[in-house]
Structure 1
Amino acid sequence: MKNTIYPKVWNLDKLYPDGSKSTQLNNHIKQLEVMVGELEGKLDSFKNIVEENVLLEVESIINHIADIRIILSQVNSFITCLLAQKPKDLNAMTLREVASSINARIESAIKTFQCGLLNIDQCLWKRIIENKDLHNYKFLLNEWRKKAEILLSEEKESLVSDLIVDSYHAWGQFYNSFLSSIKVEIQIEEERKELSVGQTINLRSHHSKEIRKTAHYALESIWKEKEELFAQILNHIAGFRLKVLEKRGLDNVLVEPLMDNRLTEETLNAMWTAVSKYKKTFLDYLNTKAKMDGDKMMKSYNFWAPIGKSNQKIDYEDAVDFILKNFSQFGNEMERFALKAFKNGWVEAENRSNKSAVAFCASFPLTGESRVFMTYGDRITSLLTLAHELGHAFHNDAMKAVDGLNRIYPLSIAETASTFSEQIILDAALDNAESTEEKLFLLDEKLKRSVMNFMNIHSRFLFEKKFHEERKMGFVSSSRLNELMQEALDVAYDGSLDGASQYTWAWTPHYYLTKSPFYNFQYTFGYLLSLTLYAKSKEKGKEFENDYIELLRDSGSMSMEDLVMKHLGEDITSVDFWENGMKLCVKDAEEFINLISS
């Protein structure tokens, strides 16, 4: 009998009592409106400021923006959590509209400031970034000045910001609400159930082939029924994005995602080159697993199927204990943090139908906390999702020691911390394997993640790039979206997946993220980088934790190329760097195939 019971339902009242009716939350929103107004006033003055006051004013504006961002992040995260746990919370929807308006104003103000920085002559600029009080923001200031080069005039950018709330972000919000409202009726054994999309997706790893197949086709039927609405939402989001890019004189849709992720296109191309070079071994893995089930090719609904005897349930208490035990093997700080998160009700894991389908981690920088949201399904996949989201939360915790705007890090490195945590748990499970069958089961789970990052994520990248190219010419129909998705899947999986969902474009929420366009390559980047970091941790033992935390803390104040060079001494623009990570995954695939053969 367990001595400790970890809550499955999170505690949001500690952040803001009374949820969407919280007086404290409303006070923060009012405070933000005042602070943004003050910032806008400062920026009006900044246009005419005399040279001798520039240094002090730049520092004042930077600190003011940082203060706003911290409170705004707290408010946005809380509203996101409210709508995840109860998608039809009308009060939360209203608050989201207000927060979206404030978001648009602060983004507009930052662009105004960036344009102002661009107007500073080079001699004065050098004095600004070398000033001791601004030196910590040297990278950020240079980055903002560079971004200003692609912006429209201040007046036109302000107009874009006004339109973003109702004509851009609103479509992404509508998608999330729409997806959360969908119910799936499905026969499970002798019982007819009504499930959320998230609960139905969890069935892809069910031990019963018939249940997996039933769930797959139940979802396919829903996507087909609603494909026209999904197509409209996606076209509106991409159309708005492309129109802004056109006005800014940009043709390459990757310019802004790469800039936001602090990556060069040279690095991205090197990574995909390495991925494509080593795909054959993963094709062999898929074919081997298909043959175990009597098929020539891997059926898409069987991809997440467990093999061997380790398909038993892993209840939530056991999952938490396993994570704590193995985080402690990596380092004391990671274990300490995870224990605090579990005990203090930072995790929402309850399996119920009236909640969002999307797992996430929300940061609350004002109070130095995070919240993890998921639907725990008593299987290894849920255990790994839990570890993944805790990795995000640990990254947030590490950034508490960092000042102001340097706390904000790109998605590419965020996915490194999350997949690093997954790696710890998967390898721990492999080390504890008591039989060949157990080892095969866990290697299979590990390889699924490799295939997802090297094939599925690649298909998302290929689809999104091609879709945006065609969207420039006009509305892309649902039938054409299906064709584009199928083409991307065929290329990325090299024709090795039978019956892959053409509707992947409809049910993958990443395509509909208006704040993070092209949210795909970051996963592969994070996955391969985390493998390199994990290999280093195995070499150095527990003392590596301090190095790891230092890397995380630097993640908001330099490019990814400089970050990896500083902490690992590696050049990520080189294909060789990415090949090293690919080779580690290839070894797993070869071991799986050899164990099956023997």
Structure 2
Amino acid sequence: MKEETKYSHNWNLDNLYPDGSDSSQFRDHIKHIEIKMCNLEDELNHFNTPQEISESSKVADIIDTIGYIRINLSQANSYITCLLAQNPKDQNAPTLKGKTSSINARFEATLKKLQKILLRTDHQLWEDILDTPDLHSYNFILNEWRKKADMHLPHDEESLVADLMVDGYHAWGEFYHSLIGSIKVNIQIDGERKELSVGQAINLRSHPDEEVRKKSFYALEEIWKEKEEQFAKILNHIAGFRLQVYKKRRLENILEEPLIENRIKEETLNAMWRAVSKSKQPFNKYLNQKANMNGHAKMKLYNFWSPIKNTDRKIKYEEAVNFILKHFSQFGTELESFTREAFDQEWIEAEDLPNKSMAAFCASFPMSGESRIFMTYGNRITNVLTLAHELGHAFHNHAMKPIKGINRQYSMCIAETASTFAEMIILDAAFAKAESTEEKLFLLDEKLKRSVMNFMNIHSRFLFEERFYEERKSGIVPSSRLNELMQEAIDEGYDGSFDNASIHSWVWTPHYYITKSPFYNFPYTFGYIFTLSIYARAKEKGKEFEKDYLALLRDSGSMSTEDLVMKHLGEDITSEAFWQKGIELCVRDVEEFITLTS
């Protein structure tokens, strides 16, 4: 029976475009983007490298058009994502997705063409043009474009590479997801034989019964061992293609592209990892303590996600909403009023339905100035945290509303800032409200699992990927060697905390198979520690910090990350000291956990 509540469990997509995938209004929107795209392509065919400072207004007009198309495309892509989430069997949505994917490809190709044209501008003239009122607000983005253009091949060659990627590079990534999706895992639970998807089997890692967790873990390990050759081929082909493209583009350092995309210096990344490497011991202590509570000397991987205490406390949806509103309001009035609007205007799809995807997401609708959140609410504190997390993403979208189109795109390093910040508000509030030691331990464990994932798990992923790419330069890396590299990375990343690490983590970690960019890992750790610093400052300043926080979010798409942090926090992120301060906040959680469990 569906819970009665004044807050809807279902989102409203019709007030964006009525009639779902049959919407004539949405199809008109796509046609409008196509027309704008054709106009832009035509304009660029007649656009030459600037020769006079007076041409700055013409450049600004093109940039404004690009910004306009980008936010329209974002709106369309988000709508299709939501349609497929609410009904994976929607017959029309894939066709619509095909149309927007085609426009996306044309848009990216046109953008690269413009970047190449701008790259040829005389250096002094370029500096003068950027100084004009027309282009001053685009200064950072335009310089970033010039840097990217310098990495790219000539337009015709770049287009050829893009075409080859579709049936080569990207096809391997799609094949990986298809292969993973086809795997069935047979596990006996409570005397009953069940056939589960990989996702369902992995979700059993948080099952309260250790025997179930153990069976799931070893059943998956058997499958990975059986299929490791197939996955090794996929991973090697993705990496090999990427390395060939980098070689053509004269990129020696595999980190160069992800560093540019994340707008950080290698010096910053190294400082962060040094600070993390020096701070493993407290988290090792936490893992050992939790292992002891499960009756083991060292942590078993299948016990990492186990609940520290079985808590039966149910939190109804309306209670969760009111709790979030109450504690968001103590941080700032804009966060509270925005969140209230999200619930009142039915932006959230939270109903607990069979066969519904467990993956939560937030989709931005920049043309409408709205967001939509998809999740499954199951009356647990972890669901409350997920809801707060996705509302944080939506708040970042809200903060960017007054910002011009091309200055709205922020890096992945910053992408988890507002979401993690919102989650921290609710975690701390729930901990303060907890009446029993059991409830406090449950919440502390939730916080510490996040810390371990960011300081240890993500570090191991980074180490593996870095070493794998280095070896891949010399040829195919066999599955046996991939297992060795993974074992070494886990031992170093987790500081030897596990006694049965999954050497096949390289198989079931989907981030290694993302074809958009390598190293889809370090931005998580970066964002986590960065947010800790912001949150610590917010607790000191109270509600008056919201204005500064909004300013930071609004600048997140138009500055280097080093400049962003210096401007808004007055901190040097190339220094280990910045990262150490954030890590120390998490070390205090370890100390409290040890005290409560001793």
Contact preservation (8 Å) 1:104, 1:164:
no
Change (3 A) 1:197 1:335: farther
Q: Which moved more, 1:524-533 or 1:232-241?
A: 232-241
Q: Distance in 2 between matches of 1:287 and 1:579?
A: 23
Q: Which moved more, 1:342-351 or 1:276-285?
A: 342-351
Q: Distance in 1 between matches of 2:319 and 2:390?
A: 17
Q: Give the alignment of 1:123-272 within 5 angstroms.
A: 123-176=124-177, 178-180=179-181, 184=185, 186-189=187-190, 195-272=196-273
Partner SS for 2:330: helix
Q: Which moved more, 1:516-525 or 1:32-41?
A: 32-41
Contact preservation (8 Å) 1:278, 1:582:
yes
Contact preservation (8 Å) 1:309, 1:438:
no
Q: Which residue of 1 aligns with 2:330?
A: 329
Change (3 A) 1:377 1:251: farther
- Alignment of 1:16 with 2:40, yes or no, is no
Partner SS for 1:498: coil
Q: Which residue of 2 aligns with 1:279?
A: 280
Q: Distance in 2 between matches of 1:353 and 1:591?
A: 38
State the shift of 1:86 in Å.
Answer: 4.3
Change (3 A) 1:49 1:452: closer
State the shift of 1:261 in Å.
Answer: 0.8
- Alignment of 1:341 with 2:371, yes or no, is no
Q: Which residue of 2 aligns with 1:100?
A: 101
Q: Give the alignment of 1:505-544 within 5 angstroms.
A: 505-544=506-545
Contact preservation (8 Å) 1:561, 1:571:
yes
State the shift of 1:10 in Å.
Answer: 3.3
Q: Which residue of 1 aligns with 2:307?
A: 306
State the shift of 1:456 in Å.
Answer: 0.7
Q: Which residue of 2 aligns with 1:420?
A: 421
Q: Distance in 1 between matches of 2:90 and 2:511?
A: 23
Q: Distance in 1 between matches of 2:296 and 2:464?
A: 27
Change (3 A) 1:278 1:198: same
Opposite residue 422 of structure 1, the aligned amino acid is: E
Tell me the alpha carbon deviations over residues 353-374 of structure 1, each in whole angstroms, 9 at most, x when there is no partner. Answer: 5444533222221212222233
Q: Distance in 2 between matches of 1:182 and 1:270?
A: 40
Q: Give the alignment of 1:80-95 within 5 angstroms.
A: 80-87=81-88, 89=90, 91-95=92-96
Partner SS for 2:363: strand
Opposite residue 102 of structure 1, the aligned amino acid is: I
Q: Which residue of 1 aligns with 2:555?
A: 554
Q: Distance in 2 between matches of 1:482 and 1:87?
A: 35
Q: Which residue of 2 aligns with 1:291?
A: 292
Contact preservation (8 Å) 2:68, 2:405:
yes
Q: Which moved more, 1:312-321 or 1:465-474?
A: 312-321
State the shift of 1:187 in Å.
Answer: 4.6
Q: Distance in 2 between matches of 1:95 and 1:228?
A: 36
Q: Which moved more, 1:323-332 or 1:114-123?
A: 323-332
Q: Distance in 1 between matches of 2:277 and 2:424?
A: 22
Q: Which moved more, 1:514-523 or 1:67-76?
A: 514-523
Q: Which residue of 2 aligns with 1:40?
A: 41
Change (3 A) 1:352 1:168: farther
- Alignment of 1:386 with 2:392, yes or no, is no
Q: Distance in 1 between matches of 2:133 and 2:563?
A: 21
State the shift of 1:299 in Å.
Answer: 1.1
RMSD over aligned Cα atoms: 2.5
Change (3 A) 1:503 1:356: farther
Tell me the alpha carbon deviations over residues 431-455 of structure 1, each in whole angstroms, 9 at most, x when there is no partner. Answer: 1122333222221111111101000
Q: Which residue of 2 aligns with 1:371?
A: 372
Tell me the alpha carbon deviations over residues 37-88 of structure 1, each in whole angstroms, 9 at most, x when there is no partner. Answer: 2222222222266536521221111011101101111122223333444445
Q: Which moved more, 1:522-531 or 1:165-174?
A: 165-174
Tell me the alpha carbon deviations over residues 235-273 of structure 1, each in whole angstroms, 9 at most, x when there is no partner. Answer: 333233222111101121111111111100000000000
Q: Give the alignment of 1:25-64 within 5 angstroms.
A: 25-47=26-48, 51=52, 54-64=55-65
Q: Which moved more, 1:72-81 or 1:445-454?
A: 72-81
Tell me the alpha carbon deviations over residues 407-453 of structure 1, each in whole angstroms, 9 at most, x when there is no partner. Answer: 11111111122211121111111111223332222211111111010
Tell me the alpha carbon deviations over residues 564-589 of structure 1, each in whole angstroms, 9 at most, x when there is no partner. Answer: 11111100000011011111111111
Q: Distance in 1 between matches of 2:130 and 2:137?
A: 9
Q: Distance in 2 between matches of 1:410 and 1:394?
A: 16
Q: Distance in 2 between matches of 1:343 and 1:225?
A: 50
State the shift of 1:346 in Å.
Answer: 2.6
Partner SS for 1:361: strand
Partner SS for 1:400: coil
Q: Which residue of 2 aligns with 1:112?
A: 113
Opposite residue 505 of structure 1, the aligned amino acid is: W
Q: Distance in 1 between matches of 2:91 and 2:463?
A: 37
TM normalised by structure 1 equals: 0.93
Partner SS for 1:103: helix
Contact preservation (8 Å) 2:267, 2:574:
yes
State the shift of 1:184 in Å.
Answer: 4.8
Contact preservation (8 Å) 1:199, 1:351:
no
Contact preservation (8 Å) 1:180, 1:356:
no
Q: Give the alignment of 1:69-88 within 5 angstroms.
A: 69-87=70-88
Contact preservation (8 Å) 1:300, 1:499:
yes
Q: Distance in 2 between matches of 1:281 and 1:443?
A: 14
Q: Which residue of 2 aligns with 1:582?
A: 583
Change (3 A) 1:359 1:149: same
Q: Which residue of 2 aligns with 1:502?
A: 503
Change (3 A) 1:367 1:425: same
Q: Which residue of 2 aligns with 1:475?
A: 476
Change (3 A) 1:398 1:293: same
Tell me the alpha carbon deviations over residues 434-483 of structure 1, each in whole angstroms, 9 at most, x when there is no partner. Answer: 23332222211111111010001111111222222233333334443333
Contact preservation (8 Å) 1:180, 1:357:
no
Q: Distance in 2 between matches of 1:355 and 1:227?
A: 29
Contact preservation (8 Å) 2:50, 2:118:
no
Contact preservation (8 Å) 1:326, 1:424:
yes
Q: Which residue of 2 aligns with 1:437?
A: 438
Change (3 A) 1:394 1:115: same
Q: Which moved more, 1:584-593 or 1:565-574?
A: 584-593
Q: Which residue of 1 aligns with 2:570?
A: 569
Partner SS for 1:46: coil
Q: Which residue of 1 aligns with 2:456?
A: 455
State the shift of 1:286 in Å.
Answer: 0.5
Contact preservation (8 Å) 1:186, 1:192:
yes
State the shift of 1:215 in Å.
Answer: 3.4
Contact preservation (8 Å) 2:201, 2:216:
yes
Equivalent pairs counted in the alignment come to 597
Tell me the alpha carbon deviations over residues 120-178 of structure 1, each in whole angstroms, 9 at most, x when there is no partner. Answer: 11222122111112111011111111222222112211222233333333443444455
Opposite residue 450 of structure 2, the aligned amino acid is: R
* Percent identity (aligned): 65
Partner SS for 2:373: strand
Q: Distance in 1 between matches of 2:198 and 2:306?
A: 18
Opposite residue 167 of structure 1, the aligned amino acid is: G
